[in-house]
């Protein structure tokens, strides 16, 4: 007999958006207490993990959706904007094109799903462990873009675990004030070949 689900104070649906190859999947795996994978893994369609964290004395259940970055999956991705409360906009610091495409991802959200304009956003420059000689996007440029949109900015490394927990917890902390005395449910998007996995282990973001 399956154990009943653990109680939680809040539920949040989060999205990872960005071009293919920027490291969204590895960020999610790292946060889900799984090892960094050195081989490149392309997400096909949509995948998600579930993790429960302790945030400033409260229990928060995070449902985190990892979306494919390829253009052919954009229509599928749009289905999952609905009901999402936060998004990590991820680029690769060694790829200027992935950074330039962040505006496209934001524009896509705002054009196709008007409620997304109120979604909490954090800009993430991933692969900060890479040699500086390979960097194409200065940290100051990432910060300037984040300032333009009035959002937070982190540089992360899924490989070294740099700022991985911090960025997810920062997003959850930004969302939490809007969730008091409210409940959220996952939208139904059937027939899209979703892969589902979960991590039951909690972490502390206090």
Q: Read off the pLDDT of residues 39-64 as tens digits, 9 standing for 90 and up.
A: 555 544 567 888 999 888 889 999 99
Q: How sure is the predictor about 115, in pLDDT bands with cuts at 50, 70 and 90?
A: low
**pLDDT for residue 77 is more than 60:** no
Write out pLDDT tens, residues 118-175.
789 999 999 999 999 999 999 999 999 999 999 999 999 999 999 999 999 999 999 9
What CATH number belongs to 10-184? 3.40.50.300
**pLDDT score for 23:** 93
**What's the rounded mean pLDDT across residues 30-43?**
66
SS (H, E, C) 158-202: CCCCECHHHHHHHHHHHHHHHCCCCCCCCCCCCCCCCEECCCCCC
**What's the rounded mean pLDDT across residues 101-120?**
79
Mean pLDDT check: name the lowest of 11-20, 47-56, 102-111, 191-200.
191-200
Q: How far is 140 from 167, CA to CA, in rounded Å?
A: 18
Mean pLDDT check: name the lowest of 20-24, 36-40, 91-95, 118-122.
36-40
**What's the rounded mean pLDDT across residues 185-201?**
44
Q: Which of 56, 66, 3, 2 is nearest to 34 (CA)?
A: 66
* % pLDDT > 90, the chain: 49
Q: Which of 174, 143, 162 is nearest to 10 (CA)?
A: 174
Residue ranges covered by each domain of the chain: 10-184
The secondary structure of 132-143 as a DSSP string is GGG--S-HHHHH
Helix (H) or strand (E) holding 109: helix 102-112
**pLDDT score for 142:** 98
Selected residue with higher pLDDT from 190 and 60: 60
**pLDDT score for 18:** 92
**pLDDT score for 193:** 41
**pLDDT score for 27:** 94
């Amino acid at each position: 007999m399956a154990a009943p689900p653990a109680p939680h104070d809040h539920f949040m649906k989060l999205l990872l958006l960005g071009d293919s190859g920027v490291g969204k999947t590895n960020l999610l795996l790292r946060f889900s207490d799984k090892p960094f994978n050195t081989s490149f893994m392309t997400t096909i369609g949509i995948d998600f993990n579930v993790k429960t964290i302790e945030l400033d004395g409260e229990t928060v259940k995070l449902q985190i959706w990892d979306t494919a970055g390829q253009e052919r999956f954009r229509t599928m991705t749009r289905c999952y904007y609905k009901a999402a409360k936060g998004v990590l906009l991820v680029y690769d610091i060694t790829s200027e094109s992935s950074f330039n495409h962040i505006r496209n991802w934001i524009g896509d959200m705002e054009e196709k799903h008007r409620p997304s304009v109120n979604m909490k956003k954090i800009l993430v420059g991933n692969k900060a462990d890479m040699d500086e000689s390979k960097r194409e996007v200065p940290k100051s440029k990432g910060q300037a873009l984040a300032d333009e949109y009035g959002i937070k900015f982190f540089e992360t490394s899924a490989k070294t675990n740099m700022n991985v927990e911090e960025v997810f917890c920062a997003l959850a902390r930004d969302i939490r004030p809007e969730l008091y005395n409210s409940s959220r449910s996952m939208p139904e998007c059937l027939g899209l070949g979703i892969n589902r996995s979960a991590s039951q282990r909690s972490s502390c973001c206090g």
